[in-house]
C-alpha cells in the first residue's frame, strides 16, 4: 500500500499547539514534537467506527489490547511481557510525574542526563523531589551518558534514575552495552529506573536495534518501570494514551496507589487508536520510518554544510539537535525572525542548541531549511 507523506495538510484552524503558536505569522513550526502527517488508515477507520457508534461512556482497555501490545513487544524487542504488567495512562508525561511521586519521599533525589525532554526536569520537582542533572558527553559525534559524573552525582537520597531511550533530543539509540553499564550503576546504588521509550518505534538506523532496558536481566526488570505509547510513532498525541510496563508487582502497586484519584482513565478514542496502531498499522509505520530517514538524511546534509551550525547523527526520532555558533545569540529567536520556529536548547537544559522537528512533508522541510540557510548567509550588497 502507498501512503502519501508528501501531502501538505493545512492544520491551521484546528487549535494545533504546534501551528497556533505562530498563527497569523509566516513561521514554519518545527518545534513541539508532533508530526504534520495524517495518522495511519487503520487508526482513522477505528476512530470513525467508534464515532459512528456514538456513545462515549467510561471505557476500559479493549479486551485484546494488552495481548496485542505484549505480542508487539515480543515481536519487535524480544520482550516477553505479561498482559497484567501493563498500566494504562492518559499520557506519558503523567507517567513521569506518577513515577516521581511513587518512588521515594519528599526531598529525595532523581537523577537524569541533560539535555533531555523537559518534563524529565520539571516532573520530579512538581512531585517535591530534587533534581540532579548530569551533562551528557560528546564522544566524537556521539552523545553518551557520562558514567563517572553519574556515579559521583548519586547520593544516599537518590532513588530514581530517569532514562530516555531512544533519546530526545539527541536522537541516540543506546546500545546494549551502554544500557548495561547504566543498569549496573542502578543495581549498585539501588535505584529504580524509569525508562521512557516513547520513541522506540522511530528508529531510523537499520543497524541499531532498540533495546528495552527491562530485557537486560531479571534484576534490571524488577527495578524498571518502562513508559511507552503509540502517540509519537503513529502521531496521536492529541488523543492521550500511554502505558507503563512494570513486571514487579510491588512497584506496580505503588504506581496504582500514587495514581488514585488524580489520574483519569484513558478516553474511548485513545484506546481505539492505540489498538489499531499496535494491531493493524505496522506497514504504515515502516513507510513512515522510510520517509523520515530520507528527511533526516536531507537535513543532516544541509545543516552540516551551513557555517555556524553543527548536527550530530539522528539515529532515531524525528528531532535533530543542532549546535549553534555561540556568536549567534538567542538562536531560536533569530531563526523565528527568519520564519522557522525551533525549540531553544535551554528548554532541554543546554545552551547553544536548537531542536528541529523534521516530522513533516519534505516540501515543508525544504522550505524551512532554505530559510535557515538564507538567514545565515550574509546578503550581498
Ligand atoms: C521522550 C518523550 N516522552 C514523552 C513525551 C510526551 O508524551 P505524552 O504526550 O504522552 O505526555 C514526549 C513528547 O515529545 C517525548 O519526547
pLDDT digits (tens, 9 = 90+) for 171-221: 999 999 999 999 999 999 999 999 999 999 999 999 999 999 999 999 999
Mean pLDDT of 29-43: 98
Nearest atom within ligand 1 for CA of residue 33: 14
Residue 93 Cα to ligand 1 middle (Å): 6
Contact in structure between 372 and 338 (CB atoms under 8 Å): yes
Whole-number Cα distances in Å, 335 to 283, 288, 354: 36, 27, 9
- For the Cβ of 91 lying below 6 angstroms from any atom of ligand 1, the answer is yes
Burial grade of 208 (CB within 10 A; 0-12, 13-18, 19 or more): middle
Mean pLDDT of the residues in the chain: 97
Whether 380 shows a pLDDT value over 70: the answer reads no
Nearest atom within ligand 1 for CA of residue 242: 10
Whether 379 shows a pLDDT value over 70: the answer reads no
Nearest atom within ligand 1 for CA of residue 229: 10
Share of the chain above pLDDT 90, in %: 98
- For the Cβ of 233 lying below 6 angstroms from any atom of ligand 1, the answer is no
- For the Cβ of 309 lying below 6 angstroms from any atom of ligand 1, the answer is no
Residue 273 binned pLDDT confidence (cut-offs 50, 70, 90): very high
Burial grade of 190 (CB within 10 A; 0-12, 13-18, 19 or more): exposed
Residue ranges of E strands in 179-304: 192-196, 224-228, 242-245
Element (H, E) at 175: none
Residue 62 Cα to ligand 1 middle (Å): 23
Mean pLDDT of 275-282: 98
Residue ranges of E strands in the chain: 28-29, 86-89, 109-114, 130-135, 137-139, 142-144, 158-164, 192-196, 224-228, 242-245, 309-311, 319-324, 340-341, 343-344, 353-357
Contact in structure between 367 and 28 (CB atoms under 8 Å): yes
Whole-number Cα distances in Å, 204 to 164, 288, 316: 16, 10, 5
pLDDT of residue 381: 42
C-alpha cell belonging to residue 156: 544516599
Give nearest CA residue, ligand 1 atom 7.
92
pTM: 0.97
Mean pLDDT of 145-163: 98
| Of residues 357, 372, 285, the one with CA closest to residue 314 | 357
| Of residues 133, 138, 98, 131, the one with CA closest to residue 116 | 133
Length of the chain: 381
Neighbour tally for 135: CB within 10 Å: 13
Give nearest CA residue, ligand 1 atom 13.
33
3-class SS at 343? strand
- For the Cβ of 117 lying below 6 angstroms from any atom of ligand 1, the answer is yes
Burial grade of 379 (CB within 10 A; 0-12, 13-18, 19 or more): exposed
Annotate 53-67 with DSSP letters as a single string.
H------PPPTTHHH
C-alpha cell belonging to residue 26: 509566516
Neighbour tally for 125: CB within 10 Å: 12
Amino acid at each position: 500500500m502507498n501512503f502519501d507523506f508528501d501531502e501538505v495538510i493545512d492544520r491551521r484552524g484546528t487549535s494545533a499547539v504546534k501551528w497556533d503558536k505562530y498563527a497569523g505569522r509566516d513561521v514554519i513550526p518545527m518545534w513541539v514534537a508532533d508530526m504534520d502527517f495524517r495518522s495511519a488508515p487503520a487508526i482513522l477507520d477505528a476512530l470513525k467506527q467508534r464515532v459512528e457508534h456514538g456513545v462515549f461512556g467510561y471505557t476500559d482497555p479493549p479486551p485484546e489490547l494488552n495481548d496485542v501490545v505484549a505480542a508487539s513487544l515480543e515481536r519487535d524487542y524480544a520482550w516477553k511481557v505479561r498482559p497484567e504488567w501493563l498500566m494504562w495512562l492518559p499520557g506519558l508525561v503523567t507517567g513521569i510525574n506518577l513515577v516521581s511521586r511513587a518512588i521515594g519521599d519528599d526531598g529525595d533525589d532523581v537523577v537524569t542526563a541533560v539535555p533531555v525532554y523537559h518534563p524529565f526536569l520539571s516532573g520530579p520537582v512538581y512531585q517535591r523531589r530534587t533534581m540532579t542533572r548530569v551533562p551528557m558527553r560528546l564522544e566524537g559525534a556521539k552523545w553518551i551518558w557520562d558514567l563517572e559524573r553519574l556515579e559521583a552525582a548519586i547520593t544516599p537520597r537518590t532513588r530514581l534514575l530517569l532514562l530516555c531511550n531512544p533519546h530526545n533530543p539527541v536522537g541516540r539509540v543506546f546500545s546494549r552495552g551502554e544500557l548495561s553499564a547504566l543498569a549496573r550503576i542502578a543495581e549498585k546504588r539501588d535505584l529504580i529506573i524509569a525508562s521512557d521509550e516513547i520513541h522506540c518505534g522511530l528508529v531510523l538506523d537499520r543497524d541499531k536495534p532498540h533495546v528495552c532496558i527491562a530485557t537486560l536481566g531479571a534484576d534490571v526488570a524488577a527495578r524498571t518501570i518502562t513508559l511507552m505509547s503509540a502517540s509519537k510513532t503513529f502521531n496521536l498525541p492529541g488523543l492521550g494514551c500511554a502505558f507503563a510496563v512494570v513486571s514487579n508487582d510491588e512497584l506496580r502497586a505503588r504506581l496504582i496507589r500514587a495514581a488514585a484519584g488524580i489520574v483519569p482513565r484513558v478516553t474511548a478514542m485513545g484506546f481505539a487508536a492505540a489498538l489499531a496502531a499496535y494491531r493493524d498499522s505496522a506497514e504504515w509505520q515502516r513507510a513512515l520510518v522510510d520517509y523520515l530517514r530520507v528527511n533526516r538524511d536531507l537535513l543532516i546534509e544541509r545543516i552540516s554544510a551551513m557555517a555556524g551550525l553543527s548536527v550530530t547523527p539522528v539515529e532515531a526520532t524525528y528531532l535533530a539537535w543542532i549546535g549553534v555558533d555561540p556568536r549567534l545569540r538567542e538562536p531560536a529567536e533569530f531563526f523565528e525572525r527568519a520564519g522557522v520556529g525551533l525549540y531553544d536548547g535551554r528548554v532541554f537544559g543546554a545552551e547553544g542548541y536548537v531542536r528541529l522537528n523534521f516530522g513533516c512533508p519534505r516540501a515543508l522541510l525544504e522550505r524551512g531549511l532554505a530559510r535557515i540557510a538564507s538567514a545565515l548567509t550574509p546578503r550581498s550588497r
